[in-house]
């Protein structure tokens, strides 16, 4: 783990897993919903790592991380 995106996305993924086990009933249906933010975190990590000094790519990575967090919040509240 070399970049800020590595740390942020891995921490977000860990919290997504903890949220799944602590605040949901479990099941394959809920797990399928949690796969989307996990994929968003992985994509954000790759985009952020390859962005360098490219501002649009960094913004895209931050938007993907925020969208993943927001989707997890929606899943848990529903």
Model confidence over 1-21: pLDDT tens digits?
Answer: 788 999 999 999 999 999 999
Name which of 1, 10, 4 is nearest 52 in CA terms: 4
Give the tokens for residue 66: 């925020």
pTM of the model: 0.88
- Residue 52's pLDDT is 76
**pLDDT computed for residue 60 by the predictor:** 94
* Confidence at residue 78, expressed as pLDDT on a 0 to 100 scale: 80
Q: Is the dihedral of CA 45, 68, 4, 53 positive or negative?
A: positive
């Amino acid at each position: 783990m070399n970049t800020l995106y590595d740390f942020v996305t891995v921490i977000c993924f860990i919290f997504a897993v903890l949220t799944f086990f602590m605040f949901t009933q479990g099941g394959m249906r809920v797990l399928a919903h949690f796969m989307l933010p996990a994929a968003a975190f992985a994509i954000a990590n790759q985009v952020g790592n390859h962005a360098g000094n490219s501002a649009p790519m960094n913004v895209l990575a931050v938007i993907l991380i925020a969208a993943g967090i927001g989707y997890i919040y929606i899943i848990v509240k529903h």
